[in-house]
Amino acid sequence: MSLLYEGKAKRVFNTEQEGILRIEYKDEVTAGNGAKKDEMIGKGRLNNLITSKIFGILKQKGVSSHFIEQISDTEQLVKSVDIFPLEVVVRNVAAGSICKRLGFEKGHTFKQPLLELFFKKDELNDPLITDDHVALLNIASTEQLSTIKDEALKVNEVLSKVMNEMNLILVDYKIEFGITKDGQILLADEISPDTCRIWDKETKENFDKDVYREDTGSLIDTYETFYKKLEEL
């Protein structure tokens, strides 16, 4: 079946079934908008398994997503959606770009979850934008944005609890949303250690892509350990 789209970490294919796509997770890992790039054998499998498990948990808790089913170690079937060019970031603890941008100390816990919107546009380096920019750029209607924000915060409630049970802290994450042909807004893309920051509650050890960004350990071993913890739930 024909390739629809190839991104940094995934390939998306058409299927014979109308409205259903096949996603293949790749072994490629990038950081800094592609500035750092490597192949890591086994990463596609881990992110597919982790994303499938997380989308399954979210569904049980009432958060619907594009995910239909995992069909192999590296592939899953999803509902076809048009992705909003928006990266929705939710932060519980300060880390990464917000420390540089606003001077928060890494590890500072926010009183309530902080939601940020970034315009998904590589050429512009995915800038931080406001609700007014979302309207101005016709990215989403006010009503759609409101649904997106509500769902993003629901994801936070569910996943923060899950991580807590695993003795981990959900520091922050990035999610994306899409819209089906009949207008349903769905959580899409992936939720994995590539797109989240996850710390050990006591040691603050990373279980996420920061080990690759900061060269502090083996990405595959880190993701494998996280997957095993998730499986033990």
Report how far apart, in Å, the C-alpha atoms of 192 and of each of 10, 37, 40 are: 13, 18, 15
Q: Whole-number minimum distance, CB 185 to ligand C5P, in Å? A: 20
Element (DSSP H or E) covering residue 196: strand 196-200
Nearer Cβ to ligand C5P (106/161): 106
Q: Whole-number minimum distance, CB 211 to ligand C5P, in Å? A: 12
Q: Whole-number minimum distance, CB 85 to ligand C5P, in Å? A: 12
Nearer Cβ to ligand C5P (116/180): 116
What residues line the site for ligand C5P (CB under 6 A)?
Answer: 87, 89, 96-98, 126, 172-174, 195-197, 209
Q: In the complex, which residue's CB is closest to ligand C5P?
A: 96
Q: Whole-number minimum distance, CB 82 to ligand C5P, in Å? A: 19
Nearer Cβ to ligand C5P (160/195): 195
